[in-house]
């Protein structure tokens, strides 16, 4: 059991995602797993819950969640999947969908994603397609999911041809981000989530990046700065989502580091022993700044500063830091060509003119990318 008494915990921070007709709250604070029953009974009255989780989260936290739901009289069933990126697959999607249907959950009931980004993406996609759309609640249990994948309505699974190529936009009804569960993350997973926190400063909030340079240590140590960083990240993402819900324009900025990063993940076959998502994004963000500097867009000292901060957080910034066999340039280029931002075969990257000055660069020369990757691999 948690040693946090929900009755004595600080009130959660609230971030509003004010989408027309589909607005929802993100609640951020300690003890929300234990308080989930009372919150959900008020927010989703009479809804039954199909809880989707993975084996790791279930062992650590599921008893607390179900006890809270039982105390509030909320009927629920649990669907468990294996941990890791391989669960974002057609096979596991079929498993989750079949369990929801077998449980006779109705459109007015809710799918509750209780886990990291993989669980959130998988469960959200199931919620989007079962009965042509069920209600959906996110309870992210990793830092990466709390600041990124649980917010904004992107759901989906991977294909052998690339990451996140099959999916749907399906906004949650509520996000409950319990900061106390982050204490159970291994340091590598927490650092991987921190890469996505840094991203918001690098997109268009240079003052947030400055603050992170000063506050990284207490964020990692679990001080009050942690909840502050999560709330600031959610506010940054919410602002972009409200402006461009379906990634027709500005929302593509949230993919800073992801075009390179997704290609790297695909190149290692999504093997978590070699690389996890946040680590790939860290390398990708460092590469986006180095490539921008190579083009004369970004000051070299900014690229160096970004790399230094990511390294200080224990994150990789170079392809040479990916363990295992060397990655072939041709494999990376093939992955980049499958990126979802590609339009009529033309490459689109998020580049930068400096820290907090990212922009969408359409029709990037593939030959320049190829030359840059050759240099990166040689170095």
Residue positions annotated with a catalytic role: 132, 154, 196, 237, 247, 251, 255, 258, 262, 277
CA angle 256, 292, 318 (to 5 degrees): 70
Return d(Cα 9, Cα 4) in angstroms, integer: 7
- The string of DSSP codes covering 49-117 is EEEEEEHHHIIIIIHHHHHHHHHTT--EEEEEE-SSGGGSSHHHHHHHHHHHHHTT--TTSEEEEEESH
On whether the CB atoms of residues 246 and 152 are closer than 8 A, the answer is no
Residue 315 DSSP one-character state? -
What is the distance, to the nearest Å, from the Cα of residue 126 to the centroid of all Cα atoms in its chain? 17
Exposure string over 80-101, b if 16+ CB within 10 A, otherwise e: bbebbbbbbbeebbebbbebbe
Tell me the Cα Rg of the chain.
20
């Amino acid at each position: 059991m948690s040693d946090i008494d929900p009755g004595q915990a600080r009130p959660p921070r609230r971030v509003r995602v004010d989408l027309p007709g589909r607005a929802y709250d993100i609640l951020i604070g300690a003890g929300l797993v234990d308080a989930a029953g009372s919150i959900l009974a008020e927010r989703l009255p009479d809804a039954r819950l199909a809880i989707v989780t993975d084996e790791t989260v279930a062992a650590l936290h599921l008893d607390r969640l179900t006890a809270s739901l039982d105390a509030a009289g909320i009927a629920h069933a649990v669907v468990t999947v294996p941990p890791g990126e391989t669960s974002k697959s057609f096979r596991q999607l079929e498993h989750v969908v079949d369990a929801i249907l077998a449980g006779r959950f109705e459109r007015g009931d809710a799918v509750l994603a209780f886990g990291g980004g993989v669980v959130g993406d998988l469960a959200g996609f199931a919620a989007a397609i079962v009965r042509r759309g069920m209600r959906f609640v996110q309870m992210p249990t990793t830092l990466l999911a709390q600041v990124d994948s649980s917010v904004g309505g992107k759901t989906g699974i991977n294909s052998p041809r690339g990451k996140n190529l099959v999916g749907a936009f399906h906004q949650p009804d509520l996000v409950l981000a319990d900061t106390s569960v982050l204490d159970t993350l291994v340091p590598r997973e927490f650092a991987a989530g921190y890469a996505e926190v840094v991203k918001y400063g690098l997109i268009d909030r240079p003052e947030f990046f400055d603050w992170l340079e000063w506050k990284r240590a207490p964020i990692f140590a679990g001080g009050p700065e942690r909840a502050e960083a999560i709330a600031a990240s959610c506010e940054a993402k919410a602002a972009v989502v409200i402006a461009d819900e379906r990634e027709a324009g500005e929302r593509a900025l949230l993919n800073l580091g992801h075009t390179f990063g997704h290609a790297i993940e695909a190149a290692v076959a999504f093997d978590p022993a070699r690389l996890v998502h946040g680590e790939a994004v860290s390398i990708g963000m460092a590469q986006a700044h180095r490539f921008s500097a190579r083009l004369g867009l970004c000051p070299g000292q900014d690229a160096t500063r970004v790399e230094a901060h990511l390294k200080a957080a224990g994150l990789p910034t170079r392809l040479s830091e990916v363990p295992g066999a060397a990655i072939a340039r041709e494999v990376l280029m093939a992955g980049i060509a499958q990126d979802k931002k590609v339009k009529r075969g033309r490459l689109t990257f998020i580049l930068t003119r400096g820290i907090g000055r990212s922009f969408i660069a359409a029709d990037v020369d593939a030959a320049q990318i190829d030359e840059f990757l050759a240099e990166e691999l040689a170095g």
